[in-house]
Amino acid sequence: MEQECLIFLEKMKNLMKKSKREPLYQLNTYDCSMSCTSPLTVSFSSIEEEDDSVEIVDTPLRHKIKVDMSNSKDQTASKEEGKVLHSVSQERNNPMEHAGISTMTAECARLYNAKMHDVCSAKKVPPRLKTKKGHQGDSRTETSNHFDFCDQMKKELDETFHSNLNAVVKKSCKTKYRFYILVTSDEVFFEETKAQLEAEGHTAVQPSEFFLGEDSSSSLLIILRNEDIAEHICKIPDLLKLKMTPGVLFAGIDEPDDVLNLTHQELFTRAGFVMFDRAVLEPLSICNMKKILKNLEELRRMGKWKWMLHYRDSRHLKENARLSEEANQKKLFMYWCQDAGILEVLPYHECDQMTRDQPDYLECLLRLQVQHISSRFPVFITDTTTDSAFEKNGIFTMILNTFLTKSPTEIFSLTEKPRLMSTL
């Protein structure tokens, strides 16, 4: 509004300068009371920057425009404007000779009238800045309410989970099972673990008693210390047979009461991985590779099964892709299995050295068994006769034809094992 006033003031000054250069004539018969009237009187009262109260005062039409901006920042400009307008009003005695000033006054009055209508219409609408802040506040409120709701739901779920967990722990005191602890030293740790389990009514058994209760509903729990897994896991008697037997669970512990508190690590829970002998892999046709993929996809319904491939074997497939179209298809098939997450190419290690004719499959599978301790079955596919070391160390061996022709779910139907928590 101040800018509009200053623009109006500048126009008035220009008109005054023009009028001084032209002769002015006064008519004695002209009465000031009957002079040409301006269309509108506008009054600005107590205008503040952040005040929403702005009014338009409708008053009788007069000769002059009175602007009262007592609270405006530019007091000096307003006073000077009033004086100039008053002098113009006194000098303008003849409407015929000063019609230009009247026309300008009417135009400015019309502009002010439109401006004030805008101000009055804005009176009912909150300022844009305040509206934006209000929306932000509402958004924050809605977000806060959203997170309050999520926090409440999380608390309820946590309470339900802890309640169910406590019920399971209480039930475990009533459910009894047989257990075997793999003792690797004379430390008191193993005796304390055994004493605590027996105090709860569980029964310790020897390896000769592992399979005596196969028809019994009680589960057999094989316990070993977590720090002994890498070096002593294969020392568990009849490890492969235990893996193939339903109701056999494996637990790794750090403290004597980990099993009772359900804070143990579950070992050999489900699924497994497959490794092919190089002598079987190289002549493998693309049709048989697709059959292998189909069997693995069927096994993956029960758990995460994988096909483990040595780095040297994968590189050999890539190099042979230039020799024939079938070899190229085998390479592309290998890429597809990798992208699907079914095939995993092992990092380069000692088995891939050029000085070796064949990888040390037993040593490699034992290392993978420890690295994938939750996988129940390490499977080695070969057409050569293997020694008993594979079975003794928990490695399942079979020939390629058996793997291709028999249903894998029948061979590894015991991969779906109940967890210790569910058993308890």
Q: What is the mean pLDDT of residues 230-251?
A: 92
More confident residue, 21 or 245: 245
Can you name the CATH fold of 271-423?
Rossmann fold (3.40.50)
pLDDT reported for residue 289: 94
Share of residues in the chain with pLDDT > 70 (%): 65
pLDDT reported for residue 161: 76
More confident residue, 25 or 209: 209
- The rounded mean pLDDT for the chain is 76
Q: What is the mean pLDDT of residues 79-85?
A: 48
d(CA 111, CA 150): 55
pLDDT band for position 250 (50/70/90)? very high
d(CA 253, CA 189): 11
Please count the residues of the chain.
424
DSSP string, 215-243: TSSS-EEEEEEGGGHHHHGGGSTTHHHHH
Distances in Å between the Cα of 420 and the Cα atoms of 83, 174, 248, 335, 412 are: 98, 14, 10, 38, 20
Range from 19-33, 102-116, 204-218, 285-299 carrying the lowest mean pLDDT = 19-33
Angle at 272 between CA 211 and CA 305, to 5 degrees: 145
pLDDT reported for residue 202: 93
More confident residue, 290 or 419: 290
β-sheet bridge partners, residue 344: 308
pLDDT band for position 101 (50/70/90)? low
In terms of pTM, does the model score above 0.75?
Answer: no
pLDDT tens digits, one per residue of 124-141: 444 444 444 444 445 555
pLDDT reported for residue 12: 80
Q: What is the mean pLDDT of residues 403-411?
A: 84
pLDDT reported for residue 213: 58
Does the domain formed by 178-267 have CATH 3.40.50? yes
Chain-centroid distance, C-alpha 97: 80
Please answer whether residues 198 and 260 qualify as being in contact, where contact means their C-beta atoms are separated by less than 8 angstroms.
Answer: no
Judged against a pLDDT cut of 80, whether residue 225 lies above it is answered with yes
Judged against a pLDDT cut of 60, whether residue 146 lies above it is answered with no
Reported in sequence order, the residue ranges of 354-399 that DSSP labels E, i.e. its strands, are 375-381, 396-398
pLDDT reported for residue 332: 95
Judged against a pLDDT cut of 80, whether residue 424 lies above it is answered with no
pLDDT band for position 219 (50/70/90)? confident
